[in-house]
Amino acid sequence: MSTSALRSVSDHQRRVADLIGMLEPAAVPLAEARGLVLADDVVAGEALPSFDNSAMDGYAVRAEDIASAAADAPVRLPVAADIPAGAPVGDLEPGTAHRIMTGAPLPRGADAVVEVEATDGGTDVVAVTAARDAGSFVRTAGGDVMSGTTVLEAGTVIGPAQVGLLAALGVRDVVVRPRPRVLVCSTGSELTDDPTPGAGQIRDSNSHMLAAAVDDAGAVAIRRLWVADDVPTFLRTLDAELGTGVDLLLTSGGVSAGAYEVVKDALGPRGVEFTKVAMQPGMPQGSGTYGGAAVVCLPGNPVSALVSFEVFVRPALRASYGHPRPHRPVVRASLTEAITSTPGKRQLRRGRLDPAAGTVEPWGPPGSGFLGWFAGADCLIDIPADVTDLATGEIVDVWDLTR
Ligand SMILES: Nc1nc2c(c(=O)[nH]1)N[C@H]1C(S)=C(S)[C@@H](COP(=O)(O)OP(=O)(O)OC[C@H]3O[C@@H](n4cnc5c(N)ncnc54)[C@H](O)[C@@H]3O)O[C@H]1N2
Ligand code: MOO
């Protein structure tokens, strides 16, 4: 096939993204929401803090009662009560102090807290050695969040701070687009789970690798399986697994031009399209729908499978649950050595990025079997299809795989 007949990377990215689409929002418990994206605004149903409280361990007072306090002229006040955190709100009589702990409710009548360091720490009578203005060390109700305000907007990615805020506001369920559910299926009669593979056999690494990539993308690898190069067995397996809440069937292997291309032979006649993309690695690709699920068929070479996942599947999965940044961040860096690329194919070459130096080092050969090298890389060098030679020091686009 001439390279002019190949589909462009961006066309195939669009096709895969359209196939997976966007999932419908649903309420999920807060404990399961980290990494997901709010589908609705969240409005605070109450204020934070919900009551005036102390920012310091010390004494609740009336500022005017300690206005003259100084190190050489302490003001002595009887300590009328102890207020631990969690106590109900009390009342402070003028001319008295309450010993108060950080977070405890400020008693009615008090308007300031004097920290214990500015006192003698007395428990019956306290000597205050510094004046404090009204409002000192008081955290006022609503000072952080006012009831009725929008605290988080739709489209916000829920991270630890957002989980904390929602928990503080008493929100138990949040409305998000759910994690896409992915069935990962390796194919190949050479694959085995046997700890000591026989002659010509290899361990199935792709299903482990792709399930990890699925989870890393914020989706869920609901099951991981492998099937031999046998069309009836492959179809029977899929028919048993699909139709049970699978959003995406992700296969690897069996898509090129050999005599036993199980994925292509089984799904090609059932509406899944097999095509060649102008990309290296990852030229042969399949995409379509089957059994109610979107289907993406990746090539079997491990580096091709994972690069294809990065290029086509990861952004589509992240977009399907509304992630505002579906793609890896792209940075510009200068090459530490010259590299070449096949004409007519966009090459995604493994590299090691040094953000401080602004450089990227090509890491390992370009071939698609070098998973050992890929495992030591942290980025992909994106070489456009019309570029064949890059000199040392040239500036290239680099996909940062660590973010
Ligand atoms: N005559 C042609 N041959 C090939 C072409 C072509 O256009 N014409 N394309 C080549 C390209 S490019 C790629 S990429 C591969 C894709 O092949 P398949 O998707 O059919 O994959 P397999 O043949 O099943 O396997 C390829 C390779 O990867 C190993 N593999 C497969 N699955 C796994 C797994 N789960 N874990 C670990 N390793 C796996 C497999 O043993 C093979 O070594 O086709 C080229 N050939
Ligand atoms: O296009 Mo294949 O994915 O290199 O080895």
CA of 80 to the centre of ligand 1 (A): 81
* Residue whose CA lies nearest to ligand 1 atom number 30: 300
Mean pLDDT of the chain: 96
Q: What residue spans define the domains of the chain?
A: 3-24+178-320, 33-45+148-176, 53-139, 330-400
**Higher confidence at residue 264 or residue 84?**
264
**Residues near ligand 1 with C-beta < 6 Å?**
186, 188, 190-191, 202, 204-207, 252-258, 261, 281, 283-284, 299-302, 304, 368
- CA separation for the pair 283, 274 (Å, rounded): 11
* Residue whose CA lies nearest to ligand 2 atom number 4: 281
Return the ligand 2 atom nearest residue 304 CA.
3
**Does 2 have pLDDT greater than 70?**
no
**Does 372 have pLDDT greater than 50?**
yes
> Tell me: the pLDDT tens digits for 233-245?
999 999 999 977 9
Dihedral angle sign, alpha carbons of residues 134, 138, 140, 144: positive
**Does 44 have pLDDT greater than 70?**
yes
Q: Quick one: pLDDT at residue 5?
A: 82
Q: Quick one: pLDDT at residue 1?
A: 44
Matching CATH number, 53-139, of 2.30.110.10, 2.30.30.40, 2.170.190.11, 2.40.10.10? 2.170.190.11
pTM of the model: 0.92
Q: Quick one: pLDDT at residue 194?
A: 85
> Tell me: the pLDDT tens digits for 300-358?
999 999 999 999 999 999 999 999 999 999 999 999 999 999 999 999 999 999 999 99
CA of 372 to the centre of ligand 1 (A): 17
Q: Is the CB of 283 under 6 A from ligand 2?
A: yes
What is the arithmetic mean of pLDDT over 65-73? Answer: 98
Q: What ligand has the least distance to the C-alpha of 258?
A: 1
Q: Quick one: pLDDT at residue 137?
A: 98
Q: Is the CB of 301 under 6 A from ligand 2?
A: yes
**Does 4 have pLDDT greater than 60?**
no
CATH number for region 330-400:
2.40.340.10
Largest CA-CA distance found in the chain, in angstroms, rounded: 97
> Tell me: the pLDDT tens digits for 261-294?
999 999 999 999 999 999 999 999 999 999 999 9
CATH number for region 3-24+178-320:
3.40.980.10
How many separate helices (H) and strands (E) can be counted in the chain? 8, 27
Closest CA to 77 of 51, 104, 96: 96
What is the arithmetic mean of pLDDT over 218-233? Answer: 94
CA of 63 to the centre of ligand 1 (A): 78
Q: Quick one: pLDDT at residue 84?
A: 87
Share of the chain above pLDDT 70, in %: 99
Q: Is the CB of 237 under 6 A from ligand 2?
A: no
Q: What is the DSSP string of 344-366?
A: TSEEEEEEEEETTTTEEEE-S-S
